[in-house]
Amino acid sequence: MKLAIISHTEHYLSKNNTIVGWGPTIKELNNLVQICDVIYHIAPLHNCKSPGSALPYNSNKIIFVPISASGGAGFKKMSILFRAPINLYKIYKTIKKVDKVQFRAPTGMGIYVLPFLSLFYNSKYWIKYAGNWKDEKMPFGNKLQKKWLQNFTSKNTKITVNGFWKNERNNIISFENPCLDENDRKLGYNLLAPKKLKKTPDFCFVGALNKHKGVDKILKAINDLNFKNNITFHFVGDGPDRFEFEKIAKYINSTIIFHGFLEKDAISSIYSKCDFIILPSKSEGFPKVIGEAMNYGCIPIVSDVSCISQYIKDGINGFLIKPITSKEIIKNMQLAIKLKDNEKEKIKKYNFELAEKFTYKYYKHRIKNEIFEIKK
């Protein structure tokens, strides 16, 4: 199987002249290539320093095809159209070589790539829609792309989305985003027995430090609860608002640690010492960090957006924040702390089994059978 993937995944040239890209996508491709003869990844190359989260490809069967980066705020958005002809030419040359094409939406270049694929490669491609399929406040460009997918794509074109939704065409298929490899599963399994709910549990947040992710509401909840030094809160990640959040945290009478960006092993260590993960995002598809946290025995306290409630049942295997306010976070944190050891153990075991759906092994099995339709 020869596969081309068209995405907006940011790529960079590292100090040692190695191509690196956004970690989660690169890791996914490093696993997906195991069921492909070759993968051509068509994506933008940026002329700037790579972030700490960027990773290299680990197989020479993955070929990076650079296209021009475009988009941005204001008039910079017009660069999407200006650079369309040369980008489409590169896409056209590449997909002539392959059996299947995956386009990752929503993204700025979707306004011209989706019509191009629909007109010329209708039986050859599928769409991976990574955003919130049911977001009522999605940007205008995302709305256009969703409408196109719902109304102008062939019924033979498969569209994978986060979650199960009623009244959609049969070609719109629920697919989980993978984040766990075999080593993650072994480490998670080894934690099942020894990890007990402590008298003073630890909480963590993993993700971009910004208000969209609800970090400001978490800090307000911690301040209002006045935990003092009984409970530790770990914030893993970086972002433009980090400095502001650290200033606020200095005036809160609790133990709050900002770790910044961490490598995978260090994040796993945070998960392993924490009892709960808090994620009060305004909008998500299905955050990979929920799957990661469940694998390591962290009970989710998460916002009730998109398809999250299809996996996290309030009071059963986690807690749902709705509406997304600091008061609601406080209520759910208090409920979480009151969990008895046997209740926590039951949730932990259930979530570990559920996390199997977020493994690369399960993802590759579904791609092979449901997308590639390779017969055994």
Structure tokens at 46: 């940026």
- Judge contact between 301 and 278, C-beta under 8 A: yes
Q: What is the mean pLDDT of residues 94-121?
A: 92
- Residue identified by tokens 């598809």 is 285
Q: What is the mean pLDDT of residues 298-324?
A: 97
CA distance 156 to 143: 22
Dihedral, CA atoms, 222, 226, 232, 235, nearest 10 degrees?
20
- Judge contact between 355 and 294, C-beta under 8 A: yes
Average pLDDT in the chain: 92
Non-local (6+) Cβ contacts of 112 within 8 A are: 80, 81, 84, 88
Q: Give the pLDDT of residue 155.
A: 85
Q: Give the pLDDT of residue 196.
A: 62
- The pLDDT tens digits of the residues spanning 130-145 come to 989 988 888 888 999 9
Pick the CATH number of 182-358 from 2.102.10.10, 3.40.50.2000, 3.40.50.150, 2.60.40.1730: 3.40.50.2000
CA distance 42 to 89: 11
Cβ atoms within 10 Å of 6's Cβ, excluding its own: 28
Cβ atoms within 10 Å of 227's Cβ, excluding its own: 21
Q: Examine domains 2-178+359-371 and 182-358 and report if their fold is the same.
A: yes
| E strands, the chain, in order | 2-6, 11-13, 19-22, 38-45, 54-56, 62-68, 100-105, 125-129, 159-161, 172-174, 203-206, 228-236, 254-260, 276-279, 299-303, 319-321
- Check whether 55 has a pLDDT greater than 70: yes
Q: Give the pLDDT of residue 228.
A: 62
Q: What is the mean pLDDT of residues 291-316?
A: 96
Lowest mean pLDDT among 53-57, 191-195, 216-220, 298-302: 191-195
Which residue stretches of 226-374 are H helix? 242-249, 264-273, 288-295, 326-337, 341-354, 360-366
Nearest alpha-carbon partner for 311 in 329, 289, 344: 289
CA distance 315 to 332: 9
Strands 19-22 and 54-56: antiparallel
Domain 2-178+359-371 has CATH 3.40.50.2000: yes
The residue ranges of every structural domain in the chain are 2-178+359-371, 182-358
Residue 47, Cα to own-chain centre: how many angstroms? 25
Confidence class for position 119, pLDDT limits 50, 70, 90: confident
Q: Give the pLDDT of residue 200.
A: 78
Q: pTM of the full predicted structure?
A: 0.92
